[in-house]
Amino acid sequence: METLKSISGKNLENVNKLKKEFFKDVISKVGSNNTIIFYCRYYEELFYRHLILKNSFIESDTKITQIVAEITKWVWEEDYIEDSDIGNITFSIFQDYFDKVYEVHQSNVAFLSEHFNIFKAEILENKTVQFNYASKEIEFYENVNNLLITDYRENKAKWFANAIASGKKLKRYINGRYHANHFLNIEFELPDDYSVLGYSIRQLKEFWFHIYNDAWEIKEHNYNLFKILATGKKKLIHDKLDDFRILEINPSKWKLRTLTYEIVGNLLEMFSYNGQKKLGVIHSSLISEPIVQLPDSRYIVIANIILTHEPERYSLQVFDKYISHYQNHGVKVPTDDSRREDIFIDRLNYVFNNYKYKKDSVNIPGSDIDYIVFDENSKTLICFELKWIIEPFTPSEITKKEKSLEKALKKQLPTYKNALEESTSQTLKKAFGNNFSETPINYFYFVLTNISVGSGLLDRSTYKIVNIRMLEKALDESKGDLEKLSRILIEEKYIQNASNYFDSKMSKQNCLGINIIQPEFRYKGGFSLEK
């Protein structure tokens, strides 16, 4: 019986062999830039064809993005080849390699997830490996976090849809500029003067505005092209693929306000993808860095990738990687990260506006309690440890991001509990003033996040992790009774049936000669934390 290590080794050999064949059959014949540009156009064609490949159907445009990313990475790893006529090879060759890279992606996901203990592997006969979640908890919170992120995105999408509807009602001209302005004002929750690595949110919004505005025109063209071809029942392949446009970024045409061309260049470098590690160590992704860098140094954008991008969430994720890198090397980094807690506290003050007793940064021996609130009616005290999580994307990032949540569960909340329940009067007078004379009957402790709540690798047997929208919904449902609110959050009422919102299956894919079976799920819809 083969071992997982030997199967993984054979898979790597097969991938390396495929890379050499891809270089010989594609890159060397049409050129480095043309290879990437072709597959970017192919993405647009697949997007409008509802993700139907030659021999299969892909349920997520994210997978298509990752296939384009893998191909881009392969091109950059090879010697630069001058561009030649794209017609030097047939469309079917391009298509066949795209399908094969899809197999590579599927195997990469499975083996990487196993390496970071998210999956466990079972070797079956006939060169087959079955991957399952390492525990029911890991599978459960994988579903939960997908729901919470989806709820977050759909909530913003509603605001955006309302803004567009309002504009139409007022008979505004709904063009790319209008879309970009309203989208970015909704997408970015941090204030314009908030700064990360010396770049302000105002500058980031201006940077993304130009790209979104230009991409909108490209999308309109591609969509209209698709409708013409579909109406005429023509195949959306071969010679027609060249008609799908890709945006080439040209900052010289931008009218800059808060930006300079030097800053634009820096941001293009940071938010672009070529598959290579930045500064030699920072991993990148076409999901978080949606601008493709060509080998000849041009920057291009796939319209339907950029227009579904989440610029605040992913920009902060990219900045976070650079900040960690610099700090690990002892470099002081200009950032307003500490303001995130202030912004979080402002939101909590708004949420608990009707409560007389609430306080942030309560000093206790060896620490500070981030936020506490007391309900005079139910005699309930709630203590929050605040965690503004920069959403992890890869299994390795999940592992790293868990550390702050694990610290909150194992160290910070127990410390708060000891201070509050052993020196109750002293601590609460410090928080609410010397005239505070109430004695709490109920004590509750939570880790509060902005969106996701950590993976199933965390031990939640004593304390729970909740996000701000779960808190707001529970407050509304409990009609302000903080004891009832806490019971709702402890029983995980809103997420306990997370699996009901997904169609789950075990997908089987032959990945370069190795049969890989792994869990996949598709969101069915219906989940909402709306009050």
| Residues 6 or more apart whose Cβ sits within 8 Å of residue 380 | 374, 440, 441, 442, 443, 444, 481, 482, 483, 486
CA neighbours closer than 13 Å in the CB half-sphere of residue 229: 19
Residue-wise DSSP of 184-210: HHHH--S-TT-EETTEEHHHHHHHHHH
pLDDT per residue as tens digits for the range 174-190:
788 888 898 999 999 99
Q: What is the mean pLDDT of the chain?
A: 89
pLDDT per residue as tens digits for the range 89-129:
888 899 899 999 999 998 988 888 888 788 999 999 878 99
Please report the pLDDT score of residue 127 as a whole number: 85
Determine how many CB atoms are found less than 10 A away from the CB of residue 312. Answer: 18
pLDDT at residue 256 greater than cutoff 50: yes
Please report the pLDDT score of residue 116 as a whole number: 79
Which of the two residues, 50 and 416, has the higher pLDDT score?
416
Report how far apart, in Å, the C-alpha atoms of 310 and of each of 151, 212, 220, 388 are.
14, 11, 20, 17
User: What CATH number does the domain located at 336-504 have?
Assistant: 3.40.91
Question: Bridge partners of 100?
Answer: none
pLDDT per residue as tens digits for the range 384-442:
999 987 765 555 556 666 888 999 999 999 999 999 999 999 999 999 999 999 999 99
Paired sense of beta strands 514-523 and 502-511, if any = antiparallel
pLDDT at residue 267 greater than cutoff 90: yes
* Domain residue extents for the chain: 336-504
Please report the pLDDT score of residue 239 as a whole number: 56
Instruction: Encode 216-239: b = buried (16+ Cβ within 10 Å), e = exposed.
Output: bebbeebeebbeebeeeeeebbee
Name the residue among 79, 111, 82 with its Cα closest to residue 15: 111
Paired sense of beta strands 119-124 and 247-248, if any = unpaired
pLDDT per residue as tens digits for the range 5-20:
888 888 899 999 999 9
Please report the pLDDT score of residue 390 as a whole number: 74
At position 399, the amino acid (one-letter code) is T
Please report the pLDDT score of residue 55 as a whole number: 46
pLDDT per residue as tens digits for the range 284-295:
999 999 999 999
pLDDT at residue 234 greater than cutoff 70: no
Please report the pLDDT score of residue 515 as a whole number: 92
Please report the pLDDT score of residue 240 as a whole number: 64
Please report the pLDDT score of residue 57 as a whole number: 46
Q: Where are the alpha helices (DSSP H) in 290-337?
A: 303-306, 311-328
Please report the pLDDT score of residue 163 as a whole number: 84
pLDDT per residue as tens digits for the range 335-363:
777 788 899 999 999 999 999 999 999 99
pLDDT at residue 214 greater than cutoff 80: yes
Please report the pLDDT score of residue 92 as a whole number: 87
SS3 assignment, position 21: helix
Please report the pLDDT score of residue 151 as a whole number: 93
pLDDT per residue as tens digits for the range 54-96:
444 455 778 889 999 999 999 999 999 999 988 888 888 998 9
Please report the pLDDT score of residue 397 as a whole number: 59
pLDDT at residue 199 greater than cutoff 80: yes
Least confident of 224-228, 244-248, 348-352: 224-228
On whether the CB atoms of residues 514 and 107 are closer than 8 A, the answer is: yes
With a pLDDT cut of 70, the percent of the chain lying above it is: 93
What distance in Å separates the CA atoms of residue 507 and residue 129, rounded to the nearest whole number? 12
pLDDT per residue as tens digits for the range 444-494:
999 999 999 998 989 999 999 999 999 999 999 999 999 999 999 999 999
